[in-house]
Amino acid sequence: MSGADDGRRIDPHALEPRDRLFRHSVRPDWGVGVWVREERTRRRLQFEDGEMRAFKRGFYDLLVPVDEDGTDIGAVFERVVGEGAEAAALDAPSEPPVMSFARQIDLFLAQFPDGFGGATYQRAWGADAPPRSSLAGAVARARALRGRKSPADAADLGIEVLGATDFVTKRKHLELAELAGEQRLELGRAILALIGGEARFGARFDDWLRALDALGIRVGWRVATTLMGLVAPNRHVVVRRRVIQLQSRSVRPSKLPQIPSIAGYRRARRILEATRDKLVAAGLSPPTLLDVHVFVWETLRPTGQQRAAAMGGTHGR
């Protein structure tokens, strides 16, 4: 634990949110604890089970930092202590959905009658889909980045991956493809750090955004999130801001910032995870969060809304 037993007084509220979350090494049933107060001889943490617990100096090592990749930090803070200006800034007044979740499912099944595993879906998005639409092909190419060691190879393959789907616009892909010399190597180093760096994901994501900005690339949500969303589609998400914002209205009213940030990313991932849970409860089983992304895209993009209207209305069944 940061500053353990060295006599320093630390203000936990001055730390990064990720550095305030811990699990007790022998009491995992307490859940994640948020470090909320520092006293002269002890530290107090509020845990997910609802209890505030104090730990005396000398016992701080029992508190183990959480795995950031496996923990939704924003959700923990909102659930455990309800704090965070960041969380408050992302709250949004409740707005009616453009269509009910039941209507989304009807619309999806009208287009893909056998669901995510059916032949129609496979022809559109699966193994039988055209190259730029095939999720399996995109994931396979992206995962090959894990085997790259040199910045030059990582840059070449990363640019290829970003240009091989419809997630990133052709204009943005061209900006990346035109990078040369040291700038191209910088991109490769940034990709290697994002995909396989040892730092926690939040730090890697922030570094990725800064690297793109330093290269003169105007960073939007899709270029910011596509690589990780393809490399680890069960843990990370590709963010199309507009449709995910609309999806939030029927699962968890939220807003996403226009400029990519780790806080906004976690909010988007939480929306898609909640969408996945509702799909599973309805009897559909999206294989990955990338398939959840497709469900949201197909039903809430403008053509999806037009199809829903043609079915007889945009609210309810």
pLDDT at residue 86, rounded to an integer: 45
Report how far residue 14's alpha carbon sits from residue 186's, in angstroms, rounded to the nearest whole number.
32
Q: How far apart are the first and last CA of the chain?
A: 52
pLDDT at residue 8, rounded to an integer: 63
E runs forming strands in the chain: 21-24, 33-38, 42-47, 52-56, 63-65
Domain termination residue (choose one: 33, 55, 83) = 83
Residue 172 DSSP one-character state: H
Report how far residue 8's alpha carbon sits from residue 11's, in angstroms, rounded to the nearest whole number.
10
Based on the domain organization, do 99 and 196 belong to the same domain? yes
Based on the domain organization, do 77 and 98 belong to the same domain? no
Domain containing 205: what range? 94-317
The model's pLDDT over 105-164, given as tens digits with 9 standing for 90+, comes to 999 999 999 999 999 999 999 888 998 899 999 999 999 999 999 999 999 999 999 999
Based on the domain organization, do 189 and 208 belong to the same domain? yes
> Of 296, 278, 276, nearest to 286 (Cα)?
276
> Of 240, 267, 298, 284, nearest to 99 (Cα)?
298
- Find all residues with CB under 8 Å of 13, minimum gap 6, and list them: none
Based on the domain organization, do 145 and 58 belong to the same domain? no
The model's pLDDT over 50-107, given as tens digits with 9 standing for 90+, comes to 888 999 999 999 999 998 777 777 778 767 765 444 444 455 455 789 999 999 999 9
The model's pLDDT over 258-292, given as tens digits with 9 standing for 90+, comes to 899 888 898 899 899 999 999 999 999 999 999 99
Based on the domain organization, do 54 and 202 belong to the same domain? no
Residue 158 inside a domain? The answer is yes
Residue 206 near residue 260 (C-beta atoms within 8 A): no
Based on the domain organization, do 299 and 202 belong to the same domain? yes
Based on the domain organization, do 138 and 74 belong to the same domain? no
Based on the domain organization, do 49 and 109 belong to the same domain? no
pTM: 0.73
Helix axes 221-231, 170-177, angle to 10 degrees: 80
> Of 140, 37, 120, 41, nearest to 81 (Cα)?
37
Q: Letter for the amino acid at 17?
A: P
Look at strands 52-56 and 21-24 and give their pairing. Answer: unpaired
Domain termination residue (choose one: 83, 106, 130) = 83
Domain termination residue (choose one: 37, 63, 83) = 83
Residue 197 inside a domain? The answer is yes
Residue 89 inside a domain? The answer is no
Based on the domain organization, do 98 and 79 belong to the same domain? no
User: pLDDT grade, residue 215 (50/70/90)?
Assistant: very high
Based on the domain organization, do 107 and 253 belong to the same domain? yes
Report how far residue 125's alpha carbon sits from residue 291's, in angstroms, rounded to the nearest whole number.
9
Residue 127 inside a domain? The answer is yes
Residue 88 inside a domain? The answer is no
Residue 119 inside a domain? The answer is yes
Residue 137 inside a domain? The answer is yes
As a whole number, the mean pLDDT across the chain is: 88
The model's pLDDT over 228-254, given as tens digits with 9 standing for 90+, comes to 999 999 999 999 999 999 999 999 777
Residue 227 near residue 145 (C-beta atoms within 8 A): yes
Based on the domain organization, do 136 and 264 belong to the same domain? yes
pLDDT at residue 7, rounded to an integer: 54
Residue 229 inside a domain? The answer is yes
Burial 113-140 (b: 16+ CB within 10 A, else e): eebbeeeebbebbbeebeeebbbebbbe
CA quadruple 184, 188, 193, 195: dihedral positive or negative?
Answer: positive
Number of folded domains that form the chain: 2
Based on the domain organization, do 79 and 99 belong to the same domain? no
pLDDT at residue 13, rounded to an integer: 76
Instruction: Give the least confident one: 93-102, 171-180, 283-292, 299-308.
Output: 93-102
